Amino acid sequence: MRLFFAFLFSFHLMANEQCQIRTSKALLIIDNNSSSPNQSIQDTDCEESLIKEFHAIVSNASGVLTQEKLNLYLKKSKIKLSPSKIEIRQFSELLEKNVIKNENMVVKNIKQLSNNKIIQLDSLDSVDIICNNCNESGAKNVQIVYDSNLKKQRKLWITFDLLRRRFALVARKTINTFSSKLSKEDFKKVEVPLNENINLFDDFENLRFYKTNKSIHAGQVLTQGDLSPIDLVRSGRKVKVLISQKSVTLKTIGVSKSSGKLGDLVEVFNPKSKKKFVAEIIDENTVQIKL
C-alpha cells in the first residue's frame, strides 16, 4: 500500500512538471531561418531549451499542430499547448497556392526588412496577399494585409524571387577552364527553379563540340556563357565530304578553305574536280552537302 501511494505521489509531481506554452490560433511563417521564439510564443513557463525546441518545430511546420502531435515530436518532454491546436502555414506555400497558382513557379529568397518573421493570427483567412505581377519570374515585391490577434489591420511588405522550374544541365563534377574534352557523362539533366532570363545551354547531344570558358563547379547549372564552340574544321586541312540526296549519301575528300565550328558553312575545294563548293560542318573534319 505504501508503494502504491508513493507511485501516485511521484506521478502527481511529474504531471505538475508539465509546462505551458500559449500562442495564437494561427501562425504565418514568413522566414523560418531568422525568426526568434518570442514571435511564435505569447507566454510560457517552459525552460529555454524546450522553448527553442517548440519554436524550431512550428517554424518549419505546415498544417494543424495539436498538443498530441507536439508531444510526440518532443518525446522526452511534455507541453500543454494553448490553444490545444494551431494552424501553421509557410508564407511561400500560401503564396504559391493562393496567388501564383502555377506549379512551375517556385518562391525563393524571401526577405522581410522588419523583425516580424512570424505573424500571429486568429485565422489565416484574414490574410490577403497583393502581388501585381506574380505571373512571371523575377524579383517581386508583395504586400501582406492581415488582421492581427489584436483585431487591428496591419500591412507588411515582403520581397522574394519568383523562379520557374526549367530543365537544365547540371555539372556532376568540377570541370577546369578551357577544357575541350566534354562528355555527356559530365552533366545530368534535371529540373531546377531558375529565372527565365538565364540563357541555358541545352545542346546536350553536341557537348563534345564545345570547350569551357571558365571553371564549372559540381552542381552548377550550365549556361550559354559557360561554353564556346571549338573549331571542328581548320583552313587548309583535308575534310571528309558527305554528299546527300534523299536516301543516298556519297563520300569524298576535299580541302577546307577556312576554319569553322559546328553548323558553320565553309568553302571546300575538291582536288580531283578542281571545283569549289559550300558545305555545312557537321562533325570534326566532316562537312555535308545536301542536294
Environment class of 193 (CB within 10 Å of its CB; exposed 0-12, middle 13-18, buried 19+): middle
37-72 core/surface letters (b: 16 or more CB in 10 A; e: else) = bebbbeebebeeebbebbbebbbebeeebebeebbe
CA 268 to chain centre: 48
Single pTM value for the model: 0.68
DSSP state of 96: I
- Phi then psi for 175, rounded to 5 degrees? -120, 130
The SS3 call for residue 248 is strand
Q: Which helix (H) or strand (E) holds 52?
A: helix 48-59
Q: Is 155 exposed, middle or buried (0-12, 13-18, 19+ CB in 10 A)?
A: exposed
Nearest to 279 by CA among 264, 233, 270: 264
d(CA 40, CA 24): 8
Residue with cell 502555377: 102
**Pairing mode, if any, of strands 85-90 and 26-29?**
parallel
Amino acid residing at 129? I
Query: Which sign, positive or negative, has the C-alpha torsion 147, 148, 151, 156?
Result: negative
Domain boundaries, the chain: 2-163, 172-229, 238-290
Q: Which fold has domain 238-290?
A: SH3 type barrels. (2.30.30)
Interhelix angle 48-59/67-74, rounded to 10 degrees, is: 110
Per-residue pLDDT for the chain (291 aa), expressed as one digit of tens each?
443 333 333 333 344 468 999 999 999 999 888 778 889 999 999 999 999 999 999 999 999 999 999 988 887 788 999 999 999 999 999 998 889 988 899 999 998 877 788 999 999 988 999 988 888 889 999 999 988 766 678 888 999 999 999 999 999 999 998 888 899 999 999 999 998 889 999 999 999 999 999 999 999 999 999 999 999 999 999 999 999 988 899 999 999 999 999 999 999 999 999 999 999 999 999 999 988
- CA–chain centroid gap for 66, Å, is 31
Cell reading at 272: 580531283
Structure confidence at residue 245 (pLDDT): 86
| C-alpha cell, 65 | 499542430
Contact between 206 and 185 under an 8 Å Cβ cutoff? The reply is no
